[in-house]
Structure 1
């Protein structure tokens, strides 16, 4: 390959006596504002486009992905004022639209259509919330995949967008006051225009916006000075009495504070002040709160708390369940619905409000059930269900009868070209280096037994689990004759806090060991054929891919790191990176620096080794993991002479970290990634 020429500067930093060269630091400049960086990216994209255009399977993958995306997707509805609000994508819409249904079976109409907001579909509807009476909807607009949001308010009946406008909302939810007078949201003060794309997350706070007023008049409800930067998100209880404020430093949990909105003066009352345990307000009955917590129960339990009591006393209601991790809980009707994760799949149990077991909820199959949405005292709830073979489907749940019925979507694709019956899923376990058994899901054509080109993925960070979910991308790979494998490695949240802690901070190398063990398992068991193992991962998963390729370039044939955190020496200097110190450790601390330096994908490229074929993907508006990570990594690996296979960069324009990406951009990106992988694994 002939790559574009890349400028190298003499930049050397001293870290605790260790000299670290950073010749490509100039690529950290905003590529939308720096002509030199933009020109370099254009040259890289040109080389990549010419290469991909000659791959034989590219059009076939694009056609197959397009067919697989032709499947209606809806979110669980929110019932407000007797109407049901939800989003829907009929399949190939660039963006989902917001729909209101008049009663459970009444007429439907679209009230917000982001597909009309921009010609290329790069303006998206982010979070949204209807007022309690269903007359208004506050909604956030996302542009080009950025994490910044602007918030507007829609009059549902007339379709009029009110004059109210909020700018610079970030990492926010929206929660209405019960009387509809305004809403709560989260945001940061406006950063300098010169640094918007890489402005760090700081001064994050909760505000209340009263309808009909200017944003400058918004009431500051909560902010906190802390050792680590904090993110704050909000919710209002179903009865409208309490505002719940969750504060997290991404340390594996969140603190919980409450505001009694019935009082004339809003006082923030800390309820749980630790950041290293999960805390979630499940619901309330008057002053009695039901809280999900991992404090004293690393796999989760339910406790109660009476705010009317003179002292805050937590009482265990539902104890930790052996062999299961309590991930979600809802208070609906007169029942507590608890969603447990068992071997990377969801099981739902029912309990009375006094803590007595009341049986299980029968799900449509083995897979993932989303949060049950509903209200205390209301017999109706909704949830989504999906697995690797079943597209996400919405079910209505009758709490008293303990029965679920189909509400929206399909419980199976009928088009023969897209039939989930063509694939089968098998969960197996492999042994990690230390003997720990780790689940891995293997998806392939029904009846296929011979070794085949295999695509392996994992995440392994921030306590985030990979649960069974339908993916057109995965099914496309399988329908072409490949195997798709998902490894539930440590660092994620599949088995609770201990599973996360085992791959966090100075234990991060366990994540790489687990992933390498998964790859070796696929080869040893004859699942992946020789010369046919590809790996992909995004964000933290992109870092994982970059790290294991450096450690074992002989093990993999293709690597697809997407929007990855690849410079572990400087990650904390950009956008949300200062929040990730709790996951990775700080480059400013010597012990942490030595760990980070030892596995940083950018700093451990083995010059002269024979590397797999690599296609790095990122986006120009990614202000969560800035594109500089990918740009610097590609510049370094192209200069390292790592064998005859290509090392290419694909930078998507007018897109971000993933949220809000138009459907067509997703299809085009995966057609490129999959055809590249298929070529170098022999799938095509």
Structure 2
């Protein structure tokens, strides 16, 4: 079918109450008329009524868009193929998640041996009527007889932890609450596991109160949570978060502490073989990355950026060593080291070379052993395993390559397919190019450009430019059914590897945070200009998209260059940069954004805060803000306030709407049907406002 898309007439937005609320920071008065929209929708009837009114207007606009239902139908067809997640081995058993196609949630399976038939262990699809209750983290005991797992409800970051017997699938009585941002790590004997939790929040504040005083506990199977043993806490430093991991041999507990999101850690180890042993410090400066990679006896292996901005691999003696007594095993290289793990008698190290994965293996003394041959230019993740066992698994994908799971023997260097999808489309019909562009200050930045082969670009094509640019997170080549659906429509999908991520190590991250945050926006604007200059698209056909920190990115660049874009798609964005750190996990983000209570940071944040910099009287692109009423990572008040301000001033005739999902959070655990509905709305909105003619099989 083919339908012609066109923008709707001016919209009659719901009236939003504007209060006289304001704050004065360092002599500067800042109005905040929509602060009342920060209130939790579950506890405030006025906010709930506003959400209902906004969704009514948005739904009416979206459902009337040409081709919207056809896009949703086609997307469901494209989504309907078998998918697998990386397996975990425990004893002789293999555990992995599988989705038969369009199941709302992945199902956990177990194989009793590598060649045994898989059997279903946990199916979360029956846990709630709306499919919004998900299986989150899980880990089998070392012998594979039991499994600890966590449940996520309605997209919240809070987890409920339970345990089951693998042989019969029966759930035990154990149940843990107020768990968030936690590892689950078994004691070697399987008697219990270590986890991290927060104190129970005040009633009514569960989804907005700042998360402080996280502590590590040991839960013994069969005991009530009230009897769990406190293992590690820092009550005098309430802002520290902690995760704990037991070494493969069960001898050491490695506790990693952090205060923000800048990969700056403290590390302590506890000798689990010695009753009453106290935590011993390995690193305490909160200045460097210390990523635990594995152990052999008393030797602990870490990836660190201490004296190596792009990362190196070091070892330290668990009994006597510390950050000043390191042995360098693998020196810093020109490419950024992302991760390393000890598997068998090898160290497997993953690097980024211009945002593409390169995997090298080393002997335990650091000597280079081999370079893994990957199927193409893409991303390989995984490589978890144990010292003494050379078997591991990794997943490879790219923009035009659906995820395939490989079994890898670190001793021989041989890869074999463990699970591979059979797709209802030909991924080879799509091409991927990497280009480089120059940002405002002369920095060379990479970008991937993907589209269907043979696409006519003589007049440009509707294009979505995606970016993130923060928190040391790289944006890598990866497969997405929704992206493929956009390209099947005749669109281009581009990903810019802007500063703020870790594509080129610590320096790349530092160049995009704090007082350098404007570099991120400049890079993204330069990426857009490059797409226009090269003829891929035009400003009338260009959409910008990003989520979370990427939502902030979209909001900032639309304010700074509204003339450059036809559509803005900010999802679950951080939009009020003066109050972001007052809610849930927001305090962790000071590393990237700065502290609004500090005058220099305040002025820097105010200069680009999307909520505070909407330019009344300027023609803006069409904007579809997306968020969820139960997002307790970036609370929805950010998006509510931003949308209210967009609608309160004259920004031209294009639509400025907000789509608010119910019983969905920041993204994880969202059921497939909600994902498809939201993306169908998003693609239809983008098509309607970039002049795309929708053509579907």
- Give yes or no for contact 2:22–2:29 (8 Å, CA) kept in 1: yes
CA distance in 2 between partners of 1:366 and 1:254 (Å): 32
The match for 2:6 is none
The match for 1:453 is 462
TM-score by length of 1: 0.98
- Give yes or no for contact 2:22–2:30 (8 Å, CA) kept in 1: yes
Picking from 387, 400, 403, the partner of 2:411 is 400
Moved more, 155-164 or 643-652: 155-164
The match for 1:342 is 353
CA distance in 2 between partners of 1:524 and 1:276 (Å): 41
The match for 1:574 is 583
Q: Does 1:45 align with 2:55?
A: yes
Picking from 643, 651, 668, the partner of 1:659 is 668
The match for 2:565 is 556
The match for 2:500 is 491
Aligned residue for 2:195, secondary structure, equals: strand
CA distance in 2 between partners of 1:613 and 1:458 (Å): 18
CA distance in 1 between partners of 2:205 and 2:58 (Å): 29
Once the two structures are superposed, residues 133-188 of structure 1 have per-residue CA deviations (whole angstroms, 9 ceiling, x without a partner) of 11111100000000001101111112211111100101111000001111011110
- Give yes or no for contact 2:568–2:622 (8 Å, CA) kept in 1: yes
CA distance in 2 between partners of 1:158 and 1:227 (Å): 44
Picking from 436, 442, 457, the partner of 1:435 is 442
Runs of 4+ in 1 over 6 A off after TM superposition: none
- Give yes or no for contact 1:328–1:371 (8 Å, CA) kept in 2: no
Deviation at 1:234, TM superposition (A): 1.9
- Give yes or no for contact 1:431–1:517 (8 Å, CA) kept in 2: yes
Picking from 133, 143, 155, the partner of 2:153 is 143
Deviation at 1:371, TM superposition (A): 2.2
Indicate the RMSD between aligned Cα atoms, in angstroms.
Answer: 1.3
- Give yes or no for contact 1:379–1:399 (8 Å, CA) kept in 2: yes
Aligned residue for 2:136, secondary structure, equals: strand
Q: Map 1:4-403; keep pairs closer than 5 Å.
A: 4-225=14-235, 229-249=239-259, 250-309=261-320, 313-322=325-334, 324-403=335-414
Deviation at 1:201, TM superposition (A): 1.0
- Give yes or no for contact 1:256–1:280 (8 Å, CA) kept in 2: no
Once the two structures are superposed, residues 465-498 of structure 1 have per-residue CA deviations (whole angstroms, 9 ceiling, x without a partner) of 0011101111111110010000000011111100
Deviation at 1:226, TM superposition (A): 6.4
CA distance in 2 between partners of 1:67 and 1:257 (Å): 50
Picking from 428, 431, 445, the partner of 1:421 is 428
- Give yes or no for contact 1:560–1:616 (8 Å, CA) kept in 2: yes
Q: Does 1:672 align with 2:681?
A: yes
Q: Does 1:471 align with 2:480?
A: yes
- Give yes or no for contact 1:170–1:188 (8 Å, CA) kept in 2: yes
CA distance in 1 between partners of 2:477 and 2:287 (Å): 27
Where relative contact order (Cα < 8 A, 6+ residues apart) is larger, the structure is 2
Deviation at 1:683, TM superposition (A): 1.5
- Give yes or no for contact 1:344–1:466 (8 Å, CA) kept in 2: yes
- Give yes or no for contact 1:256–1:270 (8 Å, CA) kept in 2: yes
Picking from 595, 619, 624, the partner of 2:628 is 619
- Give yes or no for contact 1:558–1:614 (8 Å, CA) kept in 2: yes
Moved more, 264-273 or 628-637: 264-273
Aligned residue for 1:615, secondary structure, equals: strand
- Give yes or no for contact 1:154–1:162 (8 Å, CA) kept in 2: yes
Once the two structures are superposed, residues 593-649 of structure 1 have per-residue CA deviations (whole angstroms, 9 ceiling, x without a partner) of 001111000000000100000000000100010000000111111011100001001
Aligned residue for 1:2, secondary structure, equals: coil
Aligned residue for 2:520, secondary structure, equals: helix
- Give yes or no for contact 1:608–1:640 (8 Å, CA) kept in 2: yes
Deviation at 1:449, TM superposition (A): 4.8
- Give yes or no for contact 1:330–1:371 (8 Å, CA) kept in 2: no
Deviation at 1:309, TM superposition (A): 4.0
Which structure 1 residue ranges, 5 or more long, are not aligned? Answer: none
CA distance in 2 between partners of 1:118 and 1:70 (Å): 22
Picking from 632, 639, 646, the partner of 2:648 is 639
Q: How many residues align?
A: 679
Deviation at 1:122, TM superposition (A): 0.8
- Give yes or no for contact 1:252–1:497 (8 Å, CA) kept in 2: no
CA distance in 2 between partners of 1:19 and 1:180 (Å): 58
CA distance in 1 between partners of 2:521 and 2:392 (Å): 40
Distance change (3 Å), C-alpha of 1:54 and 1:529:
same
CA distance in 2 between partners of 1:3 and 1:502 (Å): 39
Deviation at 1:71, TM superposition (A): 2.6
Deviation at 1:225, TM superposition (A): 4.7
Picking from 524, 527, 543, the partner of 2:536 is 527
Aligned residue for 2:469, secondary structure, equals: coil
TM-score by length of 2: 0.96
- Give yes or no for contact 1:327–1:341 (8 Å, CA) kept in 2: yes
Once the two structures are superposed, residues 564-618 of structure 1 have per-residue CA deviations (whole angstroms, 9 ceiling, x without a partner) of 0000111111111111111100111110000111100000000010000000000
Aligned residue for 1:644, secondary structure, equals: coil
Moved more, 652-661 or 261-270: 261-270
Deviation at 1:273, TM superposition (A): 1.5
- Give yes or no for contact 2:539–2:563 (8 Å, CA) kept in 1: no
The match for 2:7 is none
CA distance in 1 between partners of 2:46 and 2:239 (Å): 33
Moved more, 223-232 or 375-384: 223-232
Q: Does 1:683 align with 2:692?
A: yes
